[in-house]
Each structure stands twice: as C-alpha cells, then as structure tokens.
Amino acid sequence: NAGVTQTPKFQVLKTGQSMTLQCAQDMNHNSMYWYRQDPGMGLRLIYYSASEGTTDKGEVPNGYNVSRLNKREFSLRLESAAPSQTSVYFCASSDIINSPLHFGNGTRLTVT
C-alpha cells in the first residue's frame, strides 16, 4: 500500500520557470492538503481540498495554484517560480476532516 506519493522528489528551477508538483493517494481519502516547510520551521498550509471538486486557500497561498484532478490526485502549480519558494513541499490526505493526516515524503524544490 503506497499511501501518499509525491513526484518529483527533487527539483531545481530557475527564477520565472513554472512547474507542477504531483500528489496521489490510494487510501480513498476525501481531503488533501499541500504544505511547505522552510529550514528549521514548522509546516505551513498552502492550499487544501476538503473534497473532490473543492479547493481553498491556507496560510500562504500566494504564488501557487492547485487542481483537484479527481479523488486521488491533487497537484500544486508554481506559475513563475521565485527564490522565496525554495522549500520542501509536503502533500497530505485524510479521510474526514478530523481524521489523522497521512503525509508523503516531500518534494525538495530549489529556485535559483
């Protein structure tokens, strides 16, 4: 059972380039989340999707867009990457709003 799978694991971008981080879960969870974690910091919520077809902003949504493609997949897009977006990005899913979150192993993104 794979759980939450994120791709790619590592990525280096130049300022202004765009890319999409992919996330898929195989647990039939309703809710999915994107977090970023800067060095020595806790996680900050970027966007979340409470259920298929809905998305909402979290604490730090500026510079990002998301798509809940179907129940399994939730992607995060950076349209014009900036050095301030250098971070580790984690995707998570949960069954219902108050159930535990299951996290992927992260995507380490560097923007030069």
Separation of alpha carbons 58 and 100, rounded Å: 18
Using CB under 8 A, pick the residue from 13, 76, 85, 104 that binds another protein. Answer: 104
Q: Is 25 in the site for another protein (CB under 8 A)?
A: no
Tokens of 43: 């996680």
Do 34 and 76 meet the contact criterion of CB atoms below 8 Å apart? yes
Tokens of 32: 């999915």
Using CB under 8 A, pick the residue from 34, 48, 64, 74 that binds another protein. Answer: 48
Q: Is 103 in the site for another protein (CB under 8 A)?
A: yes
Q: Is 56 in the site for another protein (CB under 8 A)?
A: yes
Beta bridge partners of 34: 47, 91
Question: What does the binding site for another protein look like in residue numbers (CB under 8 A)?
Answer: 4, 31, 33, 35, 40-45, 48, 50, 56-59, 90, 92, 94, 97-98, 100-106
